[in-house]
Chains A and B, each alone.
Chain A
Amino acid sequence: AQSVTQLGSHVSVSEGALVLLRCNYSSSVPPYLFWYVQYPNQGLQLLLKYTSAATLVKGINGFEAEFKKSETSFHLTKPSAHMSDAAEYFCAVSPSGTYKYIFGTGTRLKVLA
Chain B
Amino acid sequence: DTAVSQTPKYLVTQMGNDKSIKCEQNLGHDTMYWYKQDSKKFLKIMFSYNNKELIINETVPNRFSPKSPDKAHLNLHINSLELGDSAVYFCASSQDSASGAYNEQFFGPGTRLTVL
Contacts and interface: CB of A to CB of B under 8 A. Distances in A.
A43 B93 CA distance: 12
Contacts, number: 59
A33 to B, nearest CB: 9
A45 to B, nearest CB: 7
Contact of A49 (B50, B104, B109): B104
A105 B43 CA distance: 7
B48 interface: yes
A106 B37 CA distance: 11
Contacts of B40: 105
B48 A99 contact: yes
Sort chain A's interface into a size bin.
20 to 34
Interface in A56-113: 88, 90, 94, 96-103, 105-106, 108
B56 A90 contact: no
Contacts of A42: 109-110
A100 B104 contact: no
Contact of A106 (B31, B43, B90): B43
A100 B110 contact: no
Interface of B: 4, 31, 33, 40-45, 48, 50, 55-56, 90, 92, 94, 100-110
Interface of A: 32, 34, 36, 38, 41-46, 49, 51, 88, 90, 94, 96-103, 105-106, 108
8 A-B pairs with least C-beta separation? A97-B100, A43-B107, A51-B102, A44-B107, A103-B43, A106-B41, A32-B102, A96-B100
